Amino acid sequence: MNLASSVALAPGRKLADHRLAPLLMPRSIALVGASAKEGSVGHGMVSVFKGGAFPGKVYLINPNYREIEGLPCYPSLADLPEPVDHTVMGVANARLEGQMSDAIKRGVRAATIFASGYLENDSEPPLTKRVAAMAREAGLQICGGNCMGFYNLEHGLRVCGFLPPPWLSAGPIAFITHSGSAYSALCHNDKRFRFSLAVSAGQELTTNAADYLDFALDMETTKVVGLFLETVRDPQTFVAALEKAEARDIPMVVLKVGRTAESAALALSHSGAMAGNDAAYQALFDRYGVMQVDDLDQLANALLLFSQPRRLAKGGMASIHDSGGLRELTIDVGAAHQVPLAKINAQTTRRLAERLEYGLEPVNPLDAWGTGHDWEGIFRDCLTALMQDPDTAIGILFAETRSGYYLHEGYAEIVREVAAQTDKPVIMANNMACLGNDDLAVRMTHDGFPVLIGIGQTMAVLRAAMAHRDHRILPPAKPPKAPAGARQRWEARLRQGTALDESESLCLFGDYGFPVLPHHVVESAAEAQAAALELGFPLAIKTAMPGILHKSDVGGVKLNLAMAEQVRIAYDDLARRLGPRAIVMPMAGTGVELAFGAIADPQFGPIVMAGAGGTLIEILADRRFAMPPFDAAAAARLIDRLKVRRLLDGVRGQPPADIGAVAEALARFSVMIADLGDLIAEADVNPVLCGADGCVALDALVVGRAPDGKH
């Protein structure tokens, strides 16, 4: 191929107008630092383009060469016969700033930077910030620095400092990663993967994961997107991209790192950006049906599962095996990952029994290997019966994939034949995790029958895929409306940026329809006794002195007071030790204690928490998060995911709690948080006592947010 030849481009109109078009689908490219030295980044850049499919012009830049491998080489960007869209910077850190300056002067619109941008004894601001500022001022998009480049295989473009494997080809997967090694792991080591777009984002000096995601979703060949994510630098664009993915039914799979304090600290040093609040990411991904995975194996499996065009039907997993022991292992691992099994009906059971050899049980999961007699017919007919059962969502044949081995080749053919008779996904899975480079696994995956790896990794991905399926069919949320005038009544008080006392907090909750106990604030024993007579016994009395946020820690709570004299004695003790201000309220009875809370995340705004309450809140660390507002149905789903959920059904003779009332209260709490989001720094109601008659807030704390964001 003549690298400087011009080939007519026919990009999609939408992509051609995208702000990242000069970066990801340029009409012309200059390779700055091109080299004839084998093994160098400069030589790798040239090798990537030689014989490639890129339909535009490519120019080589290096003042030390007149030609490289028979191709003309220019001294500088200024010496090119025309401006280029994109320049690939294969130069050392010390030359980077000067070359970027030359590119901007020449009108270049995009650049890829492999170099780290770190200079010993650098000045302030450092090189990375100087380059980023130059590019932003010029409106120039940068992939990197400290990246491995990108592949836009839909456009025939490979930008990399290392020669990629020859089998790399276009396909339905878009992959955007903050880890160069994760980029190499998926792009360069496993032949099953085919990409529309793969990006090693690096330091994201100007262009970030949200930008790449937006571009990938506009590509015709993208059917699933994977993200290896350290942080989100542009929350607004990222959320808009998630909305676009959901609207277009393009599954999103995310491996989010920096979830622990130690990992987040390392992520900051690696990427230069905070990893972010993991609770906020959980809430964000749940809102948009994004599938979270825990490791690269799960990420790989998820991308392959959704690279085929069929989506999971309703119901559970049906699987067929040639080993009773591995069938049992699959059941155990599936249960650990909460993967439901298809509950096959009597007709399916009868069909299996008629076909299986004597001694084999007609159940799901199915061990179909007997003596080996007519194994092909038995596996074909039994897998067909399983797939035709109305409760089967997906069918999996678990077996290894040794190319050329008659048994495994036969299993693959059976999967093809059975898939032709159903519109449900039928796939294969290896029992052990391994690279899928054997010819059989590659052929099957490329033909639309992905071969997943490992029982555990397969089960984890099935659970995520089923959650994604269920998210897709949820009706539109209908959260309650915020009460008219409530925000206006509380705005001035919350803008003071201080903590509301318990009475104020409960009144605020009550204004938004959250169930609270009646109460009186008192400042003398006589007032306490009068309040007691009005409210009725038994009672609780608690300190209401300013600045005491955890009353029980200082002996500031007196419970089960049954007569006026007990109220007086309790009040006198609180007043003597802590101060005269106290709150009197009825005892609420018994029930399960939950806690609801909210935080103001700096990236994504207010986040609501529901979890185990009372003393269990710290012991169990049992909590879930959601973005407000949401309705009672979403609140019920959030509560269902708590470990303490079973207690709400009643245990050891206790009546079940009114789950509907609890969910409605949580929904109203979410509406309050959404309505007052910019006015509240944090809010907490703990415990929320949940019983047969509903639920009620026993204690609450709200901290306002001043106009300057302080509290």
Residue 209, both tokens: 């994961």
Are 207 and 334 in the same domain? no
Asked whether residue 7 is assigned to any structural domain, the reply reads: no
Is it the case that residue 553 has pLDDT exceeding 50? yes
287: left (phi over 0), alpha (psi -120 to 50) or beta: alpha
Q: Specify which residues 397 forms β-bridges with.
A: 320, 428
Is it the case that residue 551 has pLDDT exceeding 80? yes
The 10s digit of each residue's pLDDT in 244-264 is 999 999 999 999 997 766 655
Asked whether residue 456 is assigned to any structural domain, the reply reads: yes
Is it the case that residue 224 has pLDDT exceeding 60? yes
Are 321 and 256 in the same domain? no
What are the phi and psi torsion angles at 296 (to 5°)? -65, -35
As for how many domains the chain has, the answer is 4
pLDDT for res 8: 33
Are 63 and 150 in the same domain? yes
Distance in angstroms (rounded) separating the CA atoms of residues 184 and 385 = 41
Asked whether residue 482 is assigned to any structural domain, the reply reads: no
Are 138 and 19 in the same domain? yes
DSSP per-residue string spanning 212-255:
HHHHHHHSTT--EEEEEES--S-HHHHHHHHHHHHHTT--EEEE
Q: What is the mean pLDDT of residues 333-342?
A: 97
Q: What is the mean pLDDT of residues 286-303?
A: 96
Is it the case that residue 188 has pLDDT exceeding 80? yes
- Read off the pTM: 0.90
Vertex 305: Cα angle to 304 and 309 (nearest 5): 105
pLDDT for res 619: 61
What are the phi and psi torsion angles at 444 (to 5°)? -65, -45
Rounded to 10 degrees, the C-alpha dihedral 40/43/48/50 comes to: -160
141 within 8 A of 19, measured Cβ to Cβ: yes
In one-letter notation, the amino acid at residue 5 is S
* CA–CA distances in Å: residue 75 to residues 29, 89, 365: 15, 14, 67
Are 269 and 409 in the same domain? no
Q: Determine the length of the chain.
A: 711
Are 39 and 63 in the same domain? yes
pLDDT for res 266: 56
Residue 194, both tokens: 């085919």
Find tokens 């984890």 and name the residue.
460
Distance in angstroms (rounded) separating the CA atoms of residues 19 and 214 = 10
- Mean pLDDT computed over every residue of the chain: 92
The CATH number assigned to the domain holding 546 equals 3.30.1490.20
The CATH number assigned to the domain holding 126 equals 3.40.50.720
Is it the case that residue 471 has pLDDT exceeding 60? yes
Q: What is the mean pLDDT of residues 534-546?
A: 92
pLDDT for res 707: 83
Which residue, among 28, 24, 29, 30, has the nearest Cα to 12 in the 3D structure? Answer: 24
pLDDT for res 262: 63
What angle, rounded to 10 degrees, do the helices at 209-218 and 235-247 form? 20
Residues contacting residue 58 through CB under 8 Å, at least 6 positions apart: 3, 4, 28, 29, 30, 31, 49
Domain boundaries, position 544: 518-586
pLDDT for res 94: 94
Q: What is the mean pLDDT of residues 585-591?
A: 88
What angle, rounded to 10 degrees, do the helices at 324-336 and 455-472 form? 50
Is it the case that residue 582 has pLDDT exceeding 60? yes
Is it the case that residue 67 has pLDDT exceeding 90? yes
pLDDT band at 412 (very low <50, low <70, confident <90, very high): very high
Are 383 and 437 in the same domain? yes
pLDDT for res 1: 34
The 10s digit of each residue's pLDDT in 425-468 is 999 999 988 777 889 999 999 999 999 999 999 999 999 999 99
The 10s digit of each residue's pLDDT in 617-672 is 666 678 999 999 999 999 999 999 999 999 999 877 788 999 999 999 999 999 99
Are 542 and 468 in the same domain? no
pLDDT for res 550: 78
Asked whether residue 202 is assigned to any structural domain, the reply reads: yes
pLDDT for res 706: 86
The CATH number assigned to the domain holding 695 equals 3.30.470.20
The 10s digit of each residue's pLDDT in 561-580 is 999 999 999 999 999 999 99
pLDDT for res 69: 87
Are 635 and 603 in the same domain? yes
pLDDT for res 710: 62
Q: Specify which residues 668 forms β-bridges with.
A: none
Are 314 and 407 in the same domain? yes
Residue 703, both tokens: 């901290």
Asked whether residue 507 is assigned to any structural domain, the reply reads: no
Percent of the chain with pLDDT over 70: 94
Domain boundary among 292, 320, 352: 292
DSSP strands (E only) in 421-538:
426-430, 451-453, 499-500, 520-522
pLDDT band at 95 (very low <50, low <70, confident <90, very high): very high
Q: Is 64 exposed, middle or buried (0-12, 13-18, 19+ CB in 10 A)?
A: exposed
